[in-house]
């Protein structure tokens, strides 16, 4: 357990050094690596789990070139969020397409319908198609949309001042706030006004797209055009179910930063199996601490049935 937890924060070499110096536990790095890779501590229990929102994302890392492949590895992560705010991981994969991930999740979860009402993502190509059948509706991440707009405009030679102005305008168009009151207490006319706000915002987006076309920013125009239909799902989701969903994937972004720190800043030359396993260990420790501790208690046969009684101090 100690080795698995420490290597999820730092390299195998440093883990071996620290265990020896601080804990007087001599574990060579090769032994630590073998223990972690042979362990099933990263197993995620996802059978029949249902979420209200599904967050997905991916990150690149330097993998070990094998079988003629380059060193560009791609890690993909799927997290579920329930309406009470609790988070649980569906999994982490390396070297798998969204289509392959979707097939695996469909085999492990409910067989008779979607496992989640709303998918929140950055709109990566192939993602929604791969996860088809698992989700009901989709929401494009506002943060990614605004962030990626800068990159699109940069590719089309837009200067920094114009890019920042366009990002600010886009944020103002798509940032529709939901009422703070409980759904049942919101008046019907206010709900109708909210629907009208979406219609007005979509019209402004059409005008925005038209500006890009006039400037010759066709790639940027297509990007916003493709994102448009999924930018206000959170509003319609609230109007339909009365449930508040996130407009951004900030939660999974924090998770990806932690995974990126371990996979990209601390080490490189990962095998695809090793990278995915390390990611699953990290997300399990963070989102499912109870399951993590339960696994090790069972593995180490810790049953809490030992009673220690202090009887005093003997002085010779």
Q: Are 261 and 124 in the same domain?
A: yes
pLDDT of 181:
80
β-pairing, 51-62 vs 116-121, is parallel
Q: Is position 9 within any domain? A: no
- Residues 61-98: pLDDT tens digits? 888 877 777 788 888 988 887 767 677 888 899 988 88
Q: Are 76 and 193 in the same domain?
A: no
Q: Is position 16 within any domain? A: no
Q: How far apart are the first and last CA of the chain?
A: 38
- Total Cβ atoms within 10 A of residue 103: 15
Percent of the chain with pLDDT over 90: 22
DSSP code per residue over 93-132: EES--HHHHHHHHHHHS-SSS-SEEEEEE---TTHHHHTT
Of 246, 263, 295, the one marking the end of a domain is 246
Q: Are 302 and 255 in the same domain?
A: yes
Of 194, 225, 246, the one marking the end of a domain is 246
Please state whether 302 falls in left (phi above 0), alpha (psi between -120 and 50) or beta: beta
Angstrom distance (rounded) from CA 195 to CA 198? 5
Q: Is position 179 within any domain? A: yes
Which residue range(s) make up the domain with 184? 142-246
Residue corresponding to tokens 């192939």: 126
Q: Is position 7 within any domain? A: no
**pTM of model > 0.85:** no
- Residues 230-247: pLDDT tens digits? 999 989 888 887 777 666
Q: Are 234 and 188 in the same domain?
A: yes
Q: Are 253 and 275 in the same domain?
A: yes
Does 150 have pLDDT greater than 80? yes
Short-list 90, 131, 85, 10, CA closest to 251: 85
Of 214, 246, 278, the one marking the end of a domain is 246
Does 8 have pLDDT greater than 80? no
Span 184-192, mean pLDDT?
88
Name the domain count of the chain: 2
- Total Cβ atoms within 10 A of residue 119: 24
Q: Are 89 and 233 in the same domain?
A: no
Does 149 have pLDDT greater than 90? yes
Q: Is position 314 within any domain? A: yes
Q: Is position 77 within any domain? A: yes
């Amino acid at each position: 357990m100690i080795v698995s937890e420490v290597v999820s924060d730092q390299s195998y070499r440093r883990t071996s050094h620290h265990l020896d110096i601080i804990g007087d536990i001599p574990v060579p790095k090769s032994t630590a690596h073998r223990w972690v890779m042979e362990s099933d501590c990263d197993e995620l229990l996802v059978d029949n789990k249902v979420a209200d929102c599904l967050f997905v994302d991916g990150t690149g890392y330097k993998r070990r070139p094998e079988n003629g492949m380059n060193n560009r590895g791609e890690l993909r992560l799927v997290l579920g969020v329930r309406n009470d705010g609790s988070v649980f991981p569906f999994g982490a994969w390396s070297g798998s397409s969204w289509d392959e991930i979707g097939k695996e999740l469909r085999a492990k979860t409910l067989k008779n319908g979607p496992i989640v009402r709303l998918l929140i993502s950055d709109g990566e190509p192939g993602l929604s198609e791969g996860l088809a059948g698992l989700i009901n509706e989709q929401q494009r991440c506002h943060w990614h949309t605004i962030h990626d707009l800068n990159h699109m405009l940069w590719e089309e030679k837009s200067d920094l001042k114009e890019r920042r102005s366009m990002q600010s305008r886009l944020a103002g168009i798509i940032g529709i706030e939901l009422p703070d009151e409980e759904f049942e207490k919101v008046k019907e006319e206010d709900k109708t006004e909210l629907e009208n706000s979406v219609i007005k915002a979509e019209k402004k987006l059409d005008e925005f797209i038209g500006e890009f076309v006039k400037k010759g920013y066709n790639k940027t125009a297509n990007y916003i055009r493709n994102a448009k239909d999924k930018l206000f799902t959170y509003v319609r989701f609230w109007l339909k179910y009365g449930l508040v969903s996130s407009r951004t994937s900030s939660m999974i972004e924090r998770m990806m930063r932690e995974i990126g720190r371990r996979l990209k800043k601390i080490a490189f030359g990962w095998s695809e199996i090793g990278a995915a396993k390390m990611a699953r260990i990290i997300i399990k420790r963070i989102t499912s601490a109870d399951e993590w501790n339960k696994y090790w208690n069972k593995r180490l046969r810790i049953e809490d049935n030992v009673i220690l009684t202090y009887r005093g101090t003997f002085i010779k």
